[in-house]
Amino acid sequence: MYIKFTFRVHVSPEYNVEDWIVDLIICEDSSTLVVVTAHNCVFYTSVSSSFNNFSASQFGNCNFVNESETFSVLNKKYCTENSLLYCGKIYGSSWLSCIIFSGTAFGPIHIWAPWTPVDGNCERCEPLYTITGMKGAVFSVVYNEENNLIGATSDDRSVRVWRILFESNNECNTRIESKNSDFQMKWRSITVVQVFSVFGHSARVWSSFILDDETVFSCGEDSTVCHWSKDGSLQKSWVAHPSSCVWCLCLKKDVLFTGGSDGAVKSWKINANVNGELKSFFPKNSLKEKEIAYVFDNFEAEKPVRAINVINYDTYSIITNAGSVWIFNKRSNLWRRVYQDTSLKNYVVSAVDCDSSLLALGTLGGFLIIINTETWNCDLKQAINANKIQVLIFLKKTCIISCSSFGKIQVLNLKKNSESGDRLFIEVLSEYFLPSCRHHWITAAAFYSAEKKLIVGDPSGNIYLYSSENVEPRSRLKSLHGKNGVTSIKTSGRYIITTGRDGCIRYLSVQCNDLAVICEYKVPMGKWLCGLFKIGLDAILPIFNGEKIQIWNFSSKNMITEVACGGGHRSWDILFNKKRFSGSGVVEEISGEFDIRVTSAFIKDGCPLFWDSVLPHSICVEIKSGHGREILGLEILFQSGSNKFFVFGGEDTILHTHFLSTKNMHKISEVKSHLSSIRSITKICDPREKLFSSNEVVFVTVGGRAQIKVWKAHLCENGFKLITSKDSKSVGGGIFTDFFDPLILCKEVSSHMLQPESERSWKSEFPAFDPETRYMDSLAFWISEGSAIFILASSDGFIRFFNYVGEDFNLFYQEDCQFCLLRLCVVHISQHMFIFATTTRGTILIWDYEVFQSYLTSAEAQQNCKTQKFPKSCKYQIQESGINSIACNSKNAEESYLVTGGDSGVVHLIKLTSYQNDGEDVKLRLNLHICMDITCHSSQVSGLAWLTHSIICSVSIDQRIIVWEIENEKLKPLSALFCSVPNVQGMKFVKSNSSKGLGHNELNEKNGSDEIIVYGAGIQIFRVCDIIK
């Protein structure tokens, strides 16, 4: 059985009023509107239609009807305070029962209504009340009629709340829904008192929302959301949309929704008790009971506490300095000493298996003690080492790894012996030895490759790989996590995920029995990372930050909770939805869609404390973010047919990775590494179009502060399956956000910045370096495997040539071009390769690439000789204004065409021809002939691309896209359209794998998968065949 819906979509025509609309309401009769405009004017309008009833239709059928309507202005009122409004709100249900709150550009807030005309002037109305105090433009005004509260945010970074007081005590008549006469009478005699004025944002505050409990939420330009109590104290603040403004917010029940300039809409559960306090195992009120007081006295005598573990939601184990094992059940508030052993005195290490059925204890004398947590009997006590047991880690339910203080690693299997009453005994599976180091023990371990290999980490940040054939490590990554050590090792498929006290998460793989780093993430929110949990598709990350432990959702970059536990150097334990932090080395997926039950225990000042709560594990991202600010550079990394992985960056300094299929675009990841904006992204390619690897790409990002970064993108197995899938458009969005099952991983390989010379000589050849220098564009080519050449256009007028070998940058040539360089282009002609650069003075400069490549492959370059002199560039004046875009259709022929786009909206078509000098010294030279220039764009041309050998596409900041065809050395426009991307910064032409050089008559039929990506303050993708049409 199903329900048939009856509906009709009525497409209404547009109606214009004479000013900027600030707010409007639909009146209760559904045929009139009240509209407030930017000059404090209110319109009362009528919209009448010729139909009233909808006709029935079958489910799935939707009739779009365009019918004639009449729009008329019934009334119009002005406020006597004719200020420019930045915001305004109408509260009410009709023309005679509405109140207008006007937030002005100069600070005052006017409360007025269209039913308060001035004597003798029926078109003007006096304010009922004017609120002052704001010292800047008012960006938002809200009214909570339940509590008669007004909230406002301002340019002065303040959040202010006032209460409206009515003369009558009968406040039920103050509601908007009251009768008109009573309503107007009450509002004519109002007074307003300030409740609080607070400052918590570091930038302009855009919006606020008042809850019925009189607490307030505010959001602003600083990316944060603040929660204020009814007395104005700050309850909580968090970064909601990193690197983006938070424009607006609203509340539905207990869920807060925020919208940001990154294009994302997020929801936050706000009524959860996320910030709790540690509770004592001995509350003061319980000490009045004799039994509790007796236990407390005995427990106090055995302090300090040496180790603490969470067994389950209600039970904790505490090991004291006297060698006693106590258990505490918080549900029944009962204490019990279950075990005592003198070998546990003064020292003990503990571990609980993943099912919480076994408690393992290690002693100073090398004994291993196993206690069954169901019966609390000692099932095993056996000496396994002559030295102190430094670490115990459960790898599986019955498999435990121990490490002595002298680096002896033992993998032990716990078995039951039926002949001895099912008592446990130890089977030594393997033994390994840790290389000598300062801290000679391990801190984390995990099995890899079906338990054939063991991965361990130590306090010095080293990662070791062991195989069953050898007691010595097969591979070592030295100081991978810095000097403070490795905190966890997890395995997910063929990848190893490690965390450390250096604040980094790293992906590793085993390649030919060697450990290799594939990718790393720098976690900005803390240094001491405890481990990783998987909840749904999110990565949950416990972090020690000073004396607090914080629980973060790494996928959404938001903190769930924090509690002051005293720090991570003390004994502690955490249980997430029955999954243990110190459990198996395999990534544990925690059940539950939205909430996490956290049970934790800590030692602070020698006393055991616990904290537990039910937390919202994640925000729910209703609409995923794309980018925070303008996009300045974009590059395709991997492509198969219409499926592709690409990266882009811009003013938000973040490198974004996305997957694009025929119908969908999905965000993969983002990495913040650049100090300033990313202005160009370029793959390092072979000039002869030969790639070294099909699943790895090295690319370069450049930008502000003269910063270069080299990245390696690794296409994972799932990413390869996805990009080669013929049905990738139907793949759900969930796979793209799984942190533990990645599609593509990007690793920063190296970084370089131009630095000013510490001691400059007056004889220096070049002027002093400006730290504000920006790299505007870049080109990168492999010379040989492991060696590349980077060509960078700089804002200080220099073109710089770097030789990149290994991870080192060598600046071997730079030339002062006198004006800021904007764009670079490669031209192939007559089997020769040239570098073209454009400037802000409308000139093109040309260098012979072969000269630099020959030098770098010579013996002179290998000896680091800096006496080589390179020929200066050739200069050609093309136009008077700057050239912002350039493209060439060169195919190694003797002649080719070049197109340029300038600040003035002019597109130049330039013919290139080559010739050689006569004589022994044969040199290739170019002739540039300007065929024509044409102005069709109303602003600067920011992108050019050759679609075929004779068809060009141009785009400008005015959002206009024009397709041209070359006929008789002239540009002929074929089609034009407008894109939806504001402030266009560039364009990328993406060929399908089967693309050939076709004319426009064949383009529609054979190249339907060729695409153009236009980027700026957004991204829009066009099929070439659609543009031609």
Quick one: what percent of the chain has pLDDT higher than 90? Answer: 35
Encoded tokens for 404: 């002595």
Short-list 578, 568, 711, 556, CA closest to 633:
711
C-alpha to C-alpha distances, 800 to 649, 767, 820, 882, nearest whole angstrom: 22, 14, 13, 20
Mean pLDDT of 985-989: 93
Asked whether residue 599 carries a pLDDT value surpassing 90, the answer given is no
What residue ranges do the domains of the chain occupy?
8-199
Asked whether residue 186 carries a pLDDT value surpassing 90, the answer given is no
Encoded tokens for 363: 């002693």
Provide the H-helix boundaries in 848-985.
849-856, 859-862
Short-list 1022, 1018, 955, 1013, CA closest to 982:
1018
CA 103 to chain centre: 34
> What is the spatial distance between Cα 61 and Cα 947, in angstroms, rounded to a whole number?
40
- Residue 281's pLDDT is 75
Tallying the residues shown for the chain, one arrives at: 1029
Tokens 């009448």, residue?
48
> What is the spatial distance between Cα 705 and Cα 594, in angstroms, rounded to a whole number?
42
Mean pLDDT of 520-542: 78
**Weakest-pLDDT range from 180-184, 432-436, 472-476, 477-481:** 180-184
Position 1004 confidence tier, pLDDT thresholds 50, 70, 90: very low
Asked whether residue 667 carries a pLDDT value surpassing 50, the answer given is yes
Tokens 């206690």, residue?
371
> Who wins on pLDDT, 209 or 269?
209
Asked whether residue 857 carries a pLDDT value surpassing 50, the answer given is yes
Are residues 840 and 822 in contact, defined by beta-carbon separation less than 8 angstroms? yes
Residues with Cβ < 8 Å from 537, sequence gap 6 or more?
555, 734, 737, 738, 739
**Average pLDDT, whole number, for the chain?**
81
Q: Which of 234-248, 369-383, 674-688 shows the highest mean pLDDT? A: 369-383
> Who wins on pLDDT, 931 or 683?
683
Encoded tokens for 949: 């050998």
Position 817 confidence tier, pLDDT thresholds 50, 70, 90: very high
The DSSP-derived string for 770-831 is: PTT--EEEEEEEEEETTEEEEEEEETTSEEEEEEEETTEEEEEEEEE-SS-EEEEEEEEETT
314-319, long-range: CB within 8 Å, 24+ apart, which pairs? 315/373, 316/281, 316/601, 316/608, 316/610, 317/350, 317/352, 317/359, 317/373, 318/281, 318/608, 319/344, 319/348, 319/350, 319/361
Torsion-angle region of residue 831: left (phi > 0), alpha (psi -120 to 50) or beta?
A: left
pTM across the whole model: 0.76
Please give the biggest Cα pair distance in the chain.
Answer: 112
**Phi/psi of residue 1019, each to 5°?**
-135, 135
- Residue 595's pLDDT is 59
Find out whether the peptide bond into 304 is cis, omega within 30 degrees of 0. yes
Any bridge partners for residue 219, and if so which? 207, 225
Asked whether residue 732 carries a pLDDT value surpassing 50, the answer given is no
Any bridge partners for residue 907, and if so which? 901, 934
Short-list 418, 587, 431, 579, CA closest to 498:
587
Are residues 264 and 236 in contact, defined by beta-carbon separation less than 8 angstroms? no
- By CB neighbour count within 10 A (0-12 exposed, 13-18 middle, 19+ buried), where does 555 fall? buried
Q: How many CB atoms lie within 10 A of CB 930?
A: 14
Asked whether residue 173 carries a pLDDT value surpassing 50, the answer given is no
Tokens 């000496």, residue?
383
One-letter amino acid of 634: L
- Residue 889's pLDDT is 85
Asked whether residue 615 carries a pLDDT value surpassing 80, the answer given is no
Mean pLDDT of 878-885: 90
- Residue 3's pLDDT is 38
Any bridge partners for residue 36, and if so which? 23, 42
Encoded tokens for 841: 């003075």
> What is the spatial distance between Cα 407 and Cα 404, in angstroms, rounded to a whole number?
5
> What is the spatial distance between Cα 706 and Cα 697, in angstroms, rounded to a whole number?
23
- Residue 955's pLDDT is 94
pLDDT digits (tens, 9 = 90+) for 223-276: 999 999 999 999 888 888 877 889 999 888 778 899 988 778 888 877 655 555
pLDDT digits (tens, 9 = 90+) for 53-92: 444 333 344 444 445 567 788 899 999 888 888 899 998 8
**Weakest-pLDDT range from 25-34, 189-198, 959-968, 996-1005:** 996-1005
The DSSP-derived string for 442-455 is: -SEEEEETTTTEEE
Mean pLDDT of 167-193: 69
Beta strands in 420-537 (DSSP E): 423-433, 444-448, 453-457, 463-467, 475-477, 486-492, 495-500, 504-511, 514-522, 528-529, 533-535
- By CB neighbour count within 10 A (0-12 exposed, 13-18 middle, 19+ buried), where does 57 fall? middle
Position 922 confidence tier, pLDDT thresholds 50, 70, 90: very low
Asked whether residue 114 carries a pLDDT value surpassing 60, the answer given is yes
Give the pairing type, strands 32-37 and 21-26.
antiparallel
